[in-house]
């Protein structure tokens, strides 16, 4: 019996939906419960804080009101009664706010009683202050009664905190239970879905991996839903196309040297003979045309050689013969060949080379070093400095090549090692955009890497290659 839908995509979507539903339900429940608790907590904390502030302020107001009355009793200054009125108004305002707090609803009657007693005493107070002792006694009584009221308020606040703590603990237990239940159900659904698609997916993964690694000798056939079988047929078609393309590319590149170099050599020789006047004297215009022909023939020759080296580099990992190579000696030979070009442009080459041995191919290592150093010289300004160092880091040889050129912009770094790609800094500078791509392929062939080190000016390339068994 077929346990999965006809479409593999539908199977995956259905499995994901079923697996995520318990978690979504748990998240929704947790969100609502926590939101409710948070709102209650916010109100309780705000009112508790406000109650503490108002309680302290009410005591201070009563003390200040008593002080004003004593001053008035001594000085008989009518302005003090106005000051008392302002303080009294503030006290009553705070008392109203204190009584309005829902957290202290049970104390509202007692607060109103204090306000009533203070109002009754104040109504009898006149400018002659005949009832001043009664007013002072009323304030003292209110102040005494305020102390136990504030104590009761603190107990109400503590009770609310305890109730909130108990509710939070209860909510925590419910959320933990809900999360564990959701995770258990999700785990069960995920296990069932993985078991269903594991065999189909593993076969598909092995087929794609074989294509990516260039193992094109095995036929691809996938079992499963109809769309999976169609994917298998497309992969098999792709495998056959890759085999044919690889065979055609190898054949073309193998014959490119013979088929292109011979006519190019004839063209270069003819341009050279014309420039030398062997066929007769040339006018200035004719000599210029012959020079252009010779220059472009050399440029085309370099492009062909670069393509051949690129082909060699792309297959170097499987076909390269290796031995213990003194990498510092290879770099020294490269420097010897470019000394003339550096001297003509008044470039200074600085740095140091540690005596390090790597396991590799001498020709490939020479190409890697030559491409990096030549690239630095080509992009350096006249009179600039090219800094080259070879050092050891753990069990790797590290070649750093730094120049004073325009550097590499951030948008060019991701593509700088692609064949034929030339960044903005390469405009107007001869080249086909293959040197760094070839160096990158040879670094990978040696189980190493070639990377760009970010710097504020100039370019900094670093090649990291594993050392041989007998480094040094």
- Residue 273, pLDDT score: 65
Using CA atoms, how far apart are residues 213 and 190, in angstroms rounded to an integer?
31
Contacts (Cβ under 8 Å, ≥6 apart) of 434: 303, 306, 307, 309, 310, 419, 420
- Residue 168, pLDDT score: 76
119-128 long-range contacts, CB within 8 A, separation 24+: 122/88, 127/78, 127/81
For residue 167, CA distances in Å to 41, 163, 196, 415, 430 come to 11, 6, 43, 59, 77
Neighbour tally for 126: CB within 10 Å: 10
Strand 385-393 with 348-353, pairing: parallel
> Residue 313 has which token pair?
């580099």
Neighbour tally for 137: CB within 10 Å: 12
**With contact defined as beta carbons under 8 Å apart, do 406 and 427 qualify?**
no
**With contact defined as beta carbons under 8 Å apart, do 318 and 246 qualify?**
no
- Residue 1, pLDDT score: 45
Mean pLDDT by 10 residues, the chain (472 residues): 57 69 74 74 79 86 86 81 86 88 85 87 68 82 87 84 78 77 76 72 78 71 74 83 73 63 66 66 71 66 60 57 85 85 84 88 85 85 88 90 83 74 60 74 83 84 82 50
Using CA atoms, how far apart are residues 205 and 211, in angstroms rounded to an integer?
10
- Residue 324, pLDDT score: 86
Number of residues that this document lists for the chain: 472
- Residue 72, pLDDT score: 80
- Residue 399, pLDDT score: 92
Angle at 121 between CA 133 and CA 87, to 5 degrees: 90
- Residue 400, pLDDT score: 92
| Region of residue 409 (left: phi > 0; alpha: psi -120 to 50; beta: else) | beta
- SS3 (DSSP) at 405: coil
Q: Does pTM top 0.95 for this prediction? A: no
- Residue 2, pLDDT score: 45
Using CA atoms, how far apart are residues 449 and 412, in angstroms rounded to an integer?
18
Alpha carbons within 13 A on the beta-carbon side of 235: 24
Query: What is the helix (H) or strand (E) element at residue 371, kind and residue range?
Result: helix 362-379
Using CA atoms, how far apart are residues 349 and 371, in angstroms rounded to an integer?
16
Using CA atoms, how far apart are residues 276 and 280, in angstroms rounded to an integer?
9
Contacts (Cβ under 8 Å, ≥6 apart) of 38: none
**With contact defined as beta carbons under 8 Å apart, do 449 and 443 qualify?**
yes
Tokens 């706010």 map to which residue?
97
Query: Where in the chain are the domains?
Result: 8-190, 246-314, 321-466
Does domain 321-466 correspond to CATH entry 3.30.565.10? yes
Tokens 């109203």 map to which residue?
96
Strand partners, 57: none
């Amino acid at each position: 019996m077929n346990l999965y839908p006809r479409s593999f995509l539908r199977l995956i979507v259905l499995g994901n939906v079923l697996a995520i539903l318990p978690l979504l339900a748990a998240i929704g429940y947790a969100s609502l419960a926590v939101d409710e608790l948070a709102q209650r907590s916010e109100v309780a904390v705000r009112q508790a804080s406000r109650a503490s502030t108002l309680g302290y302020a009410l005591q201070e107001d009563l003390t200040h009101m008593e002080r004003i009355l004593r001053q008035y009793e001594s000085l008989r200054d009518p302005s003090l009664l106005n000051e008392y009125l302002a303080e009294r108004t503030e006290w009553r305002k705070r008392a109203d706010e204190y009584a309005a707090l829902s957290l202290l609803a049970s104390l509202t009657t007692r607060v109103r009683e204090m306000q009533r007693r203070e109002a009754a005493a104040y109504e009898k107070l006149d400018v002659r202050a005949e009832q001043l002792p009664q007013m002072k006694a009323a304030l003292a009584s209110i102040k005494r009664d305020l102390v136990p009221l504030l104590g009761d308020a603190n107990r109400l606040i503590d009770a609310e905190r305890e109730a909130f703590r108990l509710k939070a603990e209860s909510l925590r237990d419910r959320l933990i239970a809900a999360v564990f239940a959701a995770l258990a159900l999700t785990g069960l659904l995920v296990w069932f879905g993985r078991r269903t698609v594991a065999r189909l997916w593993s076969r598909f993964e092995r087929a794609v991996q074989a294509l990516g690694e260039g193992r094109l000798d095995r036929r691809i056939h996938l079992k499963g839903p109809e769309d999976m079988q169609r994917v298998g047929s497309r992969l098999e078609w792709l495998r056959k196309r890759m085999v044919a393309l690889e065979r055609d590319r190898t054949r073309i590149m193998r014959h490119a040297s013979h088929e292109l170099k011979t006519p190019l050599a004839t063209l270069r020789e003819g341009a050279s003979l014309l420039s030398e006047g062997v066929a007769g004297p040339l006018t200035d215009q004719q000599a210029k045309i012959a020079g252009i022909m010779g220059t472009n023939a050399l440029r085309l020759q370099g492009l062909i050689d670069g393509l051949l080296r690129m082909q060699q580099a792309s297959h170097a990992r499987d076909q390269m013969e290796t031995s213990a190579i003194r990498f510092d000696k290879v770099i020294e030979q490269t420097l010897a060949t470019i000394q003339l070009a550096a001297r003509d442009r008044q470039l200074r080459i600085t740095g140091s080379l540690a005596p390090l041995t790597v396991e590799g191919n001498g020709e490939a290592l020479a190409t890697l070093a030559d491409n990096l150093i030549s690239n630095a010289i080509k992009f350096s300004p006249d009179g600039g400095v090219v800094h080259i160092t070879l050092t050891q880091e753990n069990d790797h040889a590290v070649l750093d090549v730094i120049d004073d050129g325009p550097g590499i912009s951030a948008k060019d770094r991701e593509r700088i090692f692609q064949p034929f790609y030339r960044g903005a800094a390469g405009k107007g500078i001869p080249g086909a955009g293959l040197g760094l791509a070839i160096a990158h392929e040879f670094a990978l062939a040696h189980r190493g890497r070639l990377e760009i080190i970010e710097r504020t000016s100039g370019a900094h390339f670093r090649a990291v290659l594993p050392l041989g068994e007998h480094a040094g």
